[in-house]
Structure 1
């Protein structure tokens, strides 16, 4: 497990280009003057059955934005946050009860632009021991883990499409058991997969 974590940390140095929810739709032209709000997510890696797993959440079906979707813990940068890493750790504690002192930051992936107008920095962290999961009431319906190896295996990514604002929009998905991971979360996992594939 520690060797796998060390490898993740090594490969996160000098990683690639920013991504976007529109990567698979190059015909969609985004206005240069658009204003994006900074946000962060934590990609928490924890040991389960001797193997690295990623902690994910299922958002509450009662939420106004992205109800029922699979997501990393995270959210927008607050004025009280000392850094983007601080925002990711704060949100992880608020959403799933993950104490910041249990997380060793390994690095970050390039930023990801969402259709909702955020520029998200994915922070990768090693959760060094188990903790009591406390889903935030009204926001998080479920906390679960999935193997890092599965979520970063290139053959597990699929491209699907649906009509969005009058246009056909293509996006990555990763079906995992009863869970359907798609959109920004799947795209950031694709970025992690591409980063870890570098030798």
Structure 2
């Protein structure tokens, strides 16, 4: 890997140190939605991979059979289990289970602010660099598909829009960042937008 690419990962690492408060699914809907119960800790991995000199982020399409966020686009991750030391350990474990990414093949570059979801999870986004090429293997019970999006697409604030839909009897607004046939929205798009703001 050349010095130019190493410096790009260092730029990402430095950008993650910028100050910033937590985000939530509620912030675009002030006074309309609010947390209804205690949140549960979770972690997601934002895996960044270099392929042919370009940086890519791996995302998943969740199984339609899952209880939480069925069929949605998401980062690999999940709730913190008793076997996990913390949310970082949970994110790395889930990425290994969901897409076959060995945890020892990830260098943690840093973190984005925690994000509270409407399903009452407090999610810690962990940004990681994939060190070596690996075979993506979606876990059939949880992941319908795994795919890559160019980091420069997600890092461009101009690619983000706000949309709304009826939810629990009221209109809820959220971010979207479409890519090809993939409709990235909600918490995942909000976390991506934070990353875009840090990198732009």
Fold match (TM-score > 0.5): yes
Alignment-derived partner of residue 4 in structure 1: 8
Corresponding residue number in structure 1 for 2:168: 165
The answer for unaligned runs of 5 or more in structure 2 is none
Tell me the residue number matched to 1:52: 55
Runs of 4+ in 1 over 4 A off after TM superposition: none
Distance in 2 between the 1:27 and 1:58 partners?
31
Q: What is the rounded CA distance, in whole Å, between the counterparts of 1:51 and 1:58 in structure 2?
A: 22
The equivalences for 1:6-21 within 5 A come to 6-21=10-25
Which residue in 2 is equivalent to 1:26? 30
Q: Does 1:78 align with 2:74?
A: no
CA contact (8 A) 1:173 1:182 kept: yes
Shift of 1:28: 2.1
- Aligned counterparts of 2:84 and 2:63: Cα–Cα separation in 1: 25
Asked whether the 8 Å contact 1:44–1:54 carries over to 2, the reply is: yes
SS in structure 1 of the partner of residue 145 of structure 2? strand
The Cα RMSD (Å) is 1.3
Confirm or deny: 8 A CA contact 1:15 1:195 kept in the other structure: no
Aligned pairs, how many? 196
Q: Which residues of structure 1 form unaligned runs of 5+?
A: none
1:181: Cα distance to partner?
0.2
TM-score (norm 2): 0.94
Match of 1:40 among 20, 28, 43: 43
TM-score of the two chains, using structure 1 as the length reference: 0.94
Aligned counterpart in structure 1 of residue 191 of structure 2, from 178, 188, 192: 188
